[in-house]
Amino acid sequence: MNISESTVLTDKGADLQAKLVDGQTLQITKVMTGALKVPVVNL
């Protein structure tokens, strides 16, 4: 099962990812998901 089929990495997400690679920690305070798919053109 491909769970990342309709995902996109935003600029803010890329910045966060870079901080984590540099060794900073991440405190998760909220998680949200959705069941619908968004057309790729709208991403």
Give per-residue pLDDT as tens, 1-43: 556 666 778 899 899 999 999 999 988 898 877 777 777 777 6
The long-range contacts involving 11-20, CB below 8 angstroms and separated by at least 24 positions, are none
Are 26 and 20 in contact, with CB atoms under 8 Å apart?
Answer: yes
Residue 6, pLDDT score: 66
Q: Can you give the residue ranges of every domain in the chain? A: 11-42
Instruction: Please state, in angstroms and rounded to a whole number, the distance separating the CA atoms of residues 26 and 20.
Output: 7
User: pTM for this structure?
Assistant: 0.52
Q: Which long-range contacts (CB under 8 A, 24 or more apart) does 19-28 make?
A: none
